[in-house]
Amino acid sequence: MHTRDLIIGVALCILSFIPMTILDSATHYSDSADILGTCIMFFMIAGGVFLIVRANSTKKGFSKLLEEDGFTRENKSKKKQYVGNITGSYWLIVTAGYLAYSFITFNWGRSWIVFPVAAILTPVVRQIEKHIKSK
């Protein structure tokens, strides 16, 4: 079921442009055909994404329950150690700083760069947190 849903979901996403193309060429670019083609395209994409997400969520859930694919009890306890107070506070501060800067300067087009930079620095924050917890 997982493979089937994944294949159908990806196929729907890839083939979603076809109804719009057929309707546009058949009706010589009318507005109603554009609207109908766009609606069909978005429904196909939504259905495909739904199938992909559902298939992967179900598989991941079963892997956790059956403790497969790295979801062993040892790995689960290790993952809990990495996300703690410092990392959570770090992301709250990053988000607050982003919002404050963006609302004050209205520079939304450039301020988003804060998140990729913060993501790159997250392992450093985790190592600091790990070092503090080991003391």
pLDDT at 79: 55
Quote the pLDDT of residue 80. 53
* Average pLDDT per block of 10 residues along the chain, 135 residues long: 94 93 80 86 95 92 81 66 70 91 88 90 84 73
DSSP assignment string, 37-99: HHHHHHHHHHHHHHHHHHHHHHHHHHHHHHT-TT--HHHHHHHHHHSSHHHHHHHHHHHHHHH
pTM: 0.54
In this prediction, residue 12 carries a pLDDT of 95
> Domain residue spans in the chain?
2-69, 79-134
Structural element, H or E, at residue 105: helix 85-105
Residues 6+ apart with CB under 8 A from 42: 16
CA–CA separation, 10 and 76 (whole Å): 30
